[in-house]
Chain A
Amino acid sequence: MIFLVPLAILVLIALWLMGMYNRLVSLKNQTQNGWRQIDVQLKRRHDLIPNLVNTVKGVMEFEKGTLTAVMDARAKAMGAAGPADASQKEGELSQALGRLLAVAENYPQLKSNENVKMLQEELSATENKIGFARQFYNDIATKFNIARETFPTNLFANAFGFSAAELFQIQDAADRQVPTVDLTMSKS
């Protein structure tokens, strides 16, 4: 009967290993899903931008430079090669959009136009969603990394093939700068 004790201990260890493995699998999948959600929101933004530019083009005839910059940045972002490149191009698109929305504040006709207000809401909501998708990705990736690195799980995590998740971070130092806005009314 005495062999039951080490047997029970082995069973408990096996159960614990199973639980730990399953938890890591769940967190890893949630992390991957979180990453893909960012792409979903980025694509939504690509789809929304042509609408916005068309709606404001008529009123903001002095801002051709700003409008073209947005469309160019969008094209570049859609054609990006690989995640690092995409991250940089999307950052540039965010900056171009930021400049456009800031400059649009100068046009009272735009402020009272309901279509524009709705579009601005959709655009700023999309920017928010991109931000929150990145925030969620970092949160879940951190949870995964913590689970991976905590003792005693860390003894087995690498053996089971769970490598650390990379957190989303700003690649281009220029993204950290607040976008500058040129409010002069020059025909550019």
Chain B
Amino acid sequence: MNLLEQQAANRRRTWLVMALFVLVFVIIGFGVDAFIIGDLQSSMPIATIAALAIGGGRAWWSLRYGDRAVLGSASAEPIDDRLARATTDDERLRYRQLQNVVEEMAIAAGIPAPKLYVIPDSDPNAFATGPDPAHASIAVTDGLLSTLNREELQGVVAHEMGHIRNLDIRLMMVVAALVGAILLLADWSGRALRFGGRGSSRGRDRSNGGAGAAGLVLFAIWIVAIILAPMIGQLLALAVSRRREYQADATGAELTRNPMALADALEKIEDAVEPTPAIKRGTAHLCIADPLGKEAEDGEGAWARMWSTHPPMARRIAALKEMALMPQNPTIPTAGR
């Protein structure tokens, strides 16, 4: 698939996963209201609303203040401070190149240039954060600056700019809110069931006699859903994260019109095997490479791939090569499959 087709496919799949997510949440939430609170027939599904409110509140807070927390935890230094502290001309040139590359990509993306930070870590990695494109930040590691040439750096910055422009940070906040809400509901249900669901008999009382058996079946299904909910929520969140990585790759390629630059950068990053300790867990889904070093290899099978925030590097590189109309390694399935 070419670049535009890949982007359209990515958008469709994101919608699909988000729809599934909302469905899972609704099933669990209404189940809680029906079976535990036993109050579904009055107009307010209390538990569902409460869980959404709490989950949403936490997500709004992260969106508003999360970028400062994330940059702080990674010991990110603003680029101007680094330039002031630079001792050699080569260093100054490198920082200036980074600044120029960020400005170039901001022009290509039509957004204001994000604030730029450098992270003191020798492993090549980068992430983007911030509530919206007008208040965004990009951070790169020292390792990235020393490993990549200007073109490849541009590819990586374009990928991060793609995350910002596609509002991925906001999307992942919504996803986190839903996961949080699902976990809350599962938790409440677990407690309530253990101490005797107040509403379960009331629920059955309210339903007609003939619906009693159906009610029991629904109840059983819902119990299974409650047990599986945390895992399902996590898996869906990870599926969204992976799909957005492909999309950011495609957007980056669109901004630079040079997919091979990013493909080369990803190959170099993949070769640097160690994890990036400076970047903590919470930001993993916004980085260009999995900072926990746990990215599944392509051959590891579907189960391992389902639990990672990033798609296997080989597939990302194959997708980019497809955009560049380069010949493919026939054994590697590409992003579209």
Q: Which residues of A contact B (CB under 8 A)?
A: 30, 34, 37, 41, 114, 117-118, 121-122, 125, 128-129, 132-133, 135-136, 139-140
Please tell me the number of chain B residues within 8 Å of chain A, measured between CB atoms: 16
Mask, B79-109, CB within 8 Å of A = 1, is 0000000000100110011001101110111
Please, how many angstroms separate the alpha-carbon atoms of A173 and B107 in the complex?
26
Provide the bound-state CA to CA distance between A34 and B110, in Å.
Answer: 8
Interface 1/0 per residue, B221-259 and A, CB below 8 Å: 000000000000000000000000000000000010100
Residue pair A37, B93 in contact (C-beta under 8 Å): no
**Contact (Cβ within 8 A) A125 B100:** yes
Q: How far is the CA of A37 from the CA of B109 in the complex (A)?
A: 12
Q: How far is the CA of A148 from the CA of B8 in the complex (A)?
A: 20
Q: Is A114 in contact with B107, judged by CB distance below 8 angstroms?
A: no
Q: Within B47-77, which residues are at the interface with A (CB < 8 Å)?
A: none
Contact status A128-B93, CB under 8 Å? no
In the complex where A128-B104, A129-B103, A132-B104 touch, is A121 in contact with B97 (Cβ < 8 A)? yes
Whether B107 contacts A132 by the Cβ 8 Å rule is yes
Supposing A30-B110, A34-B110 touch, asked if A125 and B104 sit within 8 A by C-beta, the answer is yes
A129 in contact with B97 (CB, 8 Å): no
Q: Which residues of A contact B257 (CB under 8 A)?
A: 135
Alpha-carbon gap, A131 to B25, bound state (A): 47
Which residue of B92, B93, B104 is within 8 Å of A129 (Cβ)? B104
A121 to B150, CA, bound (A): 10
Interface centre among B92, B93, B104, B107 (most CB of A within 10 A): B107
In B94-130, which residues have CB < 8 Å from any A CB? 96-97, 100-101, 103-105, 107-110
How far is B97's CA from A11's CA once the two chains are assembled, in angstroms? 54
Bound-complex Cα distance A136 to B110 (A): 7
Provide the residues of chain A in CB contact with B100, threshold 8 Å.
Answer: 121-122, 125, 128-129
25 A-B residue pairs with Cβ-Cβ distance under 8 Å, sorted by A, are A30-B110, A34-B110, A114-B89, A114-B93, A117-B89, A118-B96, A121-B93, A121-B96, A121-B97, A121-B100, A122-B96, A122-B100, A125-B97, A125-B101, A125-B103, A125-B104, A129-B100, A129-B103, A132-B105, A132-B107, A132-B108, A133-B107, A135-B108, A136-B109, A139-B110
Residues of the B chain whose Cβ atoms lie less than 8 Å from the Cβ of A121: 93, 96-97, 100
Chain A neighbourhood of B107, CB < 8 A: 37, 41, 129, 132-133, 136
Q: Nearest Cβ distance between residue B219 and chain A, in whole angstroms?
A: 39
Chain B residues with CB below 8 A from A117, complex form: 89, 93
Majority secondary structure of chain A interface residues (helix, strand, loop or mixed): helix
Nearest chain A CB to B145's CB is how many angstroms away? 14
Tell me, in angstroms, the Cα distance from A125 to B105 when the chains sit together. 11
In the assembled complex, how far is the CB of residue B89 from the closest CB belonging to chain A, in whole angstroms? 4
**Distance (Å) between the CB of A132 and the closest chain B CB?**
4
> What residues of chain A lie closer than 8 Å to B110, measured between beta carbons?
30, 34, 136, 139-140
- Distance A34 CA – B257 CA, assembled complex (angstroms): 18
A133 to B108 Cα, complex, angstroms: 6
* Cα–Cα distance between A161 and B96 once the two chains are bound (Å): 44
The closest CB in chain B to the CB of A132 belongs to B108
Q: B97 — which chain A residues lie within 8 A by C-beta?
A: 121, 125
Smallest Cβ distance from A142 to chain B, in angstroms? 11
- How far is it, in angstroms, between the C-alpha of A63 and the C-alpha of B43 when the chains are bound? 84
Top 9 A-B residue pairs of the complex, sorted by shortest distance between their CB atoms: A125-B100, A114-B89, A132-B108, A132-B107, A128-B104, A136-B110, A132-B104, A133-B107, A136-B108
Cβ of B108 and Cβ of A118 under 8 Å apart? no
Report A-chain residues with C-beta under 8 Å of the C-beta of B101: 125
A37 to chain B, nearest CB (A): 7
Question: In the bound complex, what is the Cα–Cα distance between A128 and B101 (angstroms)?
Answer: 9
Q: Which residue of A lies closest to B106 (CB)?
A: A132
A62 to B15, CA, bound (A): 63
> How many Å lie between the Cα of A133 and that of B110 in the bound state?
9
Q: Which A residues are in CB contact (< 8 Å) with B93? A: 114, 117-118, 121
- The docked-state distance in angstroms from the alpha carbon of A128 to that of B108 is 10
Contacts of B105 in A (CB 8 A): 132
